[in-house]
Every structure is written in structure tokens, then in C-alpha cells.
Structure 1
Amino acid sequence: MIDSIRMSFANFVVPDTLLSLLVSTGLLIVAVLIARALVSRFIRRQVDSMELRRRWLVQTRNGFILLLMLGLALIWGEELRTLALSIVAIAVAFVVATKELIMCITGSILKAGAGSFSIGDRIQIREFRGDVIDQNLLATTILEVGPGKLTHQRTGRMAVIPNALFVSEPVINESFTHDYVLHVFTVPFKRDDDWRSAQQAIVESARRQCAPFLEEVRRYMNRLSVSRGLEPPSVDPRVTMQVPVAGEIHLIVRVPVKSGQRGFIEQAIMSEVFQNNDYLPRPQTNENTPTAPPS
């Protein structure tokens, strides 16, 4: 054991360059210590004021420490530069290898800092849309809702979204108001259809479906608007008209609903409106057609 240790020390050779740097470092430290001791001794003997003496001693100590650091930087500058280049190369390789993980962590910090959503909210990012059931540092898990953007029923599938998407993609939070939301859906008609009667029927049906909780929604929206400093929105059911292309009329229906009953209220209104009427074009009578004379 002792022989192996002796052999190790015997084979240990310090390079001339390193030896020169060590000797220069030692001489610099000794010179700085001697100079500081001489200056401190001079200050203690020549300065009578205790406060001024303490101030000069502190300033000279800090000055010599700065001088020592500058001297060490000059002596070891080349080696420090080589070490820095090696560290930078290792850091670049590490960043390239873990780019996705770093972006996931950054996305997690971004969504947490912005308060984009929380557990239970319904969100949409890219083609992913669903209810958030879990989130951690790397990924967010949702229960898919669909198919498409207009359906509000769960498909039974789960999607795990990497948090890196939150760095570059906008997030739509459909549950921003949490307990109650303003649900919007579209009912398309052709221009020749009896869309006016359908519009009136949708308004009446929406009022009946929302009547049990309309006042509660109004109070909730008022409280939320006051807490967020916003103008309180109108929560009364409404139907507006849109003409996306020639020959078509789209009725835009907006109703207040509980956060988890969007699909239920929408289907209840549609079923009630179209149960006994298809709102097809009304038959037109030709006033120029001659009528047969009475017999």
C-alpha cells in the first residue's frame, strides 16, 4: 500500500507551465501580504483619529484584495479563457440535448405566471381541446372534448400536452368565468328559409331554459366584473344575425349557462325549437294566376 502511494507520487510530474503559474501566484500573494502589513503599520502609527484610521484600514484592505484579484486574473488569464471556452462548449451541448425539456419548464413557468388556466378549466391550444385534469412541470393533461370546436361532449380520450407549446402558441380558456359562462353557438339557415320565425322561437326557448338561474348568473357576473375591474356584461339570452356568404343567414345564439352544462342547454334549445317545425321556405301564392269562375 505504502509502496503504491510512493510510486504514485514518484510518477506525478508538474508541468513547467503550471509550476511557473504557481510560483507567480505565490510571489504575488506574498508581495500583497507584505505590502498590506507595511501600509497598515504605517496607518496605525501615523493616523491619530480612530475613525479615520479604521476607514483607511478598511479601504486599504479592500484595495489590496482588488489588486490581488487583478493580479491572479493576469497570471491565470490564459488558463481561465481555455476553461471558459470548455464550459461554454459543454453548456451549449447540454442546452441542445435538453432543448425540449428546457422549453417545457419555461412553458410551465409562463402559464403559471400568466395564470392562463387552472385545474377544471376547458382550454384549447392548436387542435387540442378539453378539460384540464392535471398539470406538472413538463406536461398538461386534458380530457378531450369534441369532435371539433363546436361540440361540448367528452370523447373519452386523454391528451398529454407538452408545456413547450405554451411558449409559442396562444391558449383559449373557455372557462375564464369559471362557475357560469356565456355560451355561443350558430344556427345556419338559407336566405329563403323562415329564419325570422326560427329567430323568435330560439329567443323564447333560450329564455325559458335560462330562467331558473338567470338572476344568479347576473349577480355572479356583476361580482366578477367588480373584482376584475371590468364592465359587467349583459347576461340576457340574445340572438343576432350574421350573413357570412350570399344566400345564407346565420343566427348567433348567446345564452348564459353553468360551466358544465353548455352542451345540455344548447341541445335543449335546439330540440325544443326544431321539434315541430323545420322552418322551410313558405309556399308562395302567385297573385297573377287567374282563379276559376264559380259555377
Structure 2
Amino acid sequence: MWPSSFDFSVFSTSLLTSSLILLIALLVLRALVARLLRQKISSIELRRRWLVQSNNAFVLLLLLGLVFIWGEELRTLALSVVAIAVAFVVATKELILCVMGSILKTGARSFKVGDRIQIKDFRGDVIDQNLLATTILEVGPGKLTHQRTGRMTVIPNSLFVAEPVINESFTSDYILHVFTVPYPREADWPQAQKALLQSAMRHTAPYLDEVRNYMQRISLSRGLDVPSVEPRVTIQVPDAEQIHLVVRIPTKTQQRNQIEQAILSDVLIGEQALQDDTTANN
């Protein structure tokens, strides 16, 4: 369907007549020039060259004449085409952004199916991705929990154009997992720090050498410094009333939550047993 702004006078008799007159005039003039060249130029090669150049000149004159005759109508048609193109871009803006986001994340190799990612408030394991959207299985609640909630989230790829992506599965098989355990300032946090480190060492000992070799291979292939993989417990003081014990452990990507819960259970159950013994003795 033609837009309403298109002027159908392009098919008017006057314009068609003018175009026909121009064509006939140029054909007659071309025939006269060809006859004149054949009579005046005896050299076959030179005559052929002039005939070719004159033919090209007549074609150029024909095109210029048609543009001059149809100029107003062509301008109206061009404006209509531009208006349609602008309307199409505005109507499909989100789809275009989704396609651009898909190209961006593919070109940057931000993540792949199976990786755990976070973008804005969305966090989960990637289970599908296509040209328009990326599907994840939600992990939470919050940013520090590593269990699936059972909900599926479909993220439009347009988000990847303007928002940073956090890939929690950068090293694939093994990762360095970090979690925080808060303690009151007056509590026996040095003992808790020691218990956390002992538990972390016990749970990671069976595969610690394997993680160390894996990290060395990753570092060599990507040109990075080899990170230390030994479990560690560091101290942070967010305010005057609390001590945060920050635990970092190497673990298999799919077992981070299980190892974290096992370490916390060891320490907290041990503390509870110690408190019970103290209460009983008193």
C-alpha cells in the first residue's frame, strides 16, 4: 500500500509526454550525430571511439533530463521512503537492540550455556540463548546464595548492550569461592577464624593439587598470574561493632554451595557444642 503522501501525479499525461518528447529528441539527435561522424571521420578506430562517447553522452543527457522532469515526484517518493524507514526503526527499536546485544555478547564471549551469570538483579545458570533472549535458571535468594530457586528468567538481549555482565564460572571446572561470616566484636572470632580455616583445609584437601594444576593451565593459556589456591580466612572490619571473616576456598563449580554449607556446619556446630559444655560445667 502506497503512503498517503505519495503524489500519483507521477503518472500524469504531461510528465509522460515530456519524457517521451525528450527520448525522441535524443534519439533523433543521436542518429544525426552518428551520420555526421560517419561522413566526416574516415578512420574506423577514431569513428568507433566517437560513436561510443556520443552514445554515453546521450544516455547521460537522457538521465539528467528525466531527473529534471520527474524531480518533484522523486523528491516526494524519497521523503515517503525515509518516513517509512524511520517509522520501521522506531517500531522495531527493542528488537534491533536485542540483535545488537546478541552480537555483542557473542563477539565478546561473555559467557556460554552452563555458566552462572549476573546482570542487574538477574542471577542464575544459563540454559538457553538465541538471537533475541537469554534464559537462565534463577539462583538465590540474593547474591550470596548458590541454590536454585526453581524459577526461570528470560532476559532480553538488549540488556547486554548497556549493562555489565558478571560471569561466576570464568574458570569452568574449578573456581575460587568466597563467602563471609560475620561475628560480634566481643565474640571469640580468633577461634572461629582458626576453625573455619581447619574445616576449609579438610574439605578441599582431596582435590587441592588438581585445582592447583588446573589454575596453572588456565593461567598459561590466558597469560595471567597463577593465583594461590590454598584456603584462607581474612579479616574485615566493616564497622566498630562487627568482625567479618572472609573465607576463600577452591571448589568445583557445581559444589560451591555444598562445600560452603559443610564448612559453616562444622564451625557453628562446634561452637554450639563448646557453649553447651561451658554451660554444663558452670
- Sort the TM-score into its range (normalised by shorter chain): 0.7 to 0.9
CA distance change for structure 1 residues 86 and 245 in 2, over 3 Å: closer, same or farther? same
Q: Give the structure 1 partner of residue 107 of structure 2.
A: 113
Q: Give the C-alpha shift of residue 94 in structure 1.
A: 2.2
Q: Quote the offset at 1:33 in angstroms.
A: 6.2
Q: Name the residue aligned to 1:140.
A: 134
Pairwise CA distance, 1:124: 1.0
Q: 1:184 to 1:26 in 2, by over 3 A?
A: farther
CA RMSD of aligned residues (A): 3.2
Match for residue 245 of structure 2? 251
Aligned to 2:145: 151
Q: Which of residues 101, 120, 124 is equivalent to 1:126? A: 120
Which residue number corresponds to residue 163 of structure 2?
Answer: 169
AA aligned opposite 1:117: F
**Structure 1 partner of 2:12:** 18
Summarize the alignment of residues 167-246 of structure 1 with structure 2, pairs less than 5 Å apart: 167-246=161-240
Task: Give, in angstroms, the shift of residue 22 of structure 1.
Answer: 3.0
Structure 1 gaps of 5+ residues are 1-13, 284-295
Q: Which residue of 1 aligns with 2:97?
A: 103
Confirm whether residue 94 of structure 1 aligns to residue 66 of structure 2. Answer: no
Q: Cα 1:127–1:48, aligned 2, differ >3 Å: closer, same or farther?
A: same
One-letter amino acid of the counterpart of residue 177, structure 1: T
| Identity among equivalent pairs (%) | 65
**C-alpha distance in structure 1 between counterparts of 2:158 and 2:256, whole Å:** 30
Whether the 8 Å contact between 1:241 and 1:252 is mirrored in structure 2 is yes
TM-score (normalizing by structure 2):
0.80
Q: Decide whether aligned partners of structure 1 residues 142 and 28 sit closer, same or farther in structure 2, where only a CA change above 3 A counts.
A: same
Q: Which residue of 1 aligns with 2:3?
A: none
- Displacement, 1:261? 0.6
Ranges in structure 2 where 5+ consecutive residues have no aligned partner: 1-7
Report the AA paired with residue 97 of structure 1: A
Offset from partner CA, 1:16-59 (integer Å, 9 cap, x none): 9733333444455556667777579959955859xxx87x8887
Higher helix share: 2
* Cα pair 2:37 2:51 within 8 Å, conserved: no
The C-alpha deviation readout for 1:123-156, integer Å capped at 9, x for no partner, is: 1112111111111122111111111111101111
Relative to structure 1, the CA distance from residue 206 to residue 16 in structure 2 (aligned partners, 3 Å threshold; closer, same or farther) is closer
Partners of 2:179 and 2:161 in 1: how far apart?
Answer: 30
Q: Which secondary structure state, in structure 1, belongs to the residue aligned with residue 145 of structure 2?
A: coil
**1:24–1:252 distance in 2 versus 1, CA, 3 Å:** farther
Q: CA deviation at 1:210?
A: 1.3
Query: What count of residue pairs does the alignment treat as equivalent?
Result: 265
Give the distance between the partners of 1:46 and 1:156, measured in 2 at CA: 89
Give the secondary-structure state (helix, strand or coil) at the position aligned to 2:271. coil
Give TM-score, length-normalised by structure 1. Answer: 0.77
Aligned residue identity for 1:120 = G
Q: Is the 8 A contact 2:10 2:73 kept in 1?
A: no
CA contact (8 A) 1:205 1:273 kept: yes
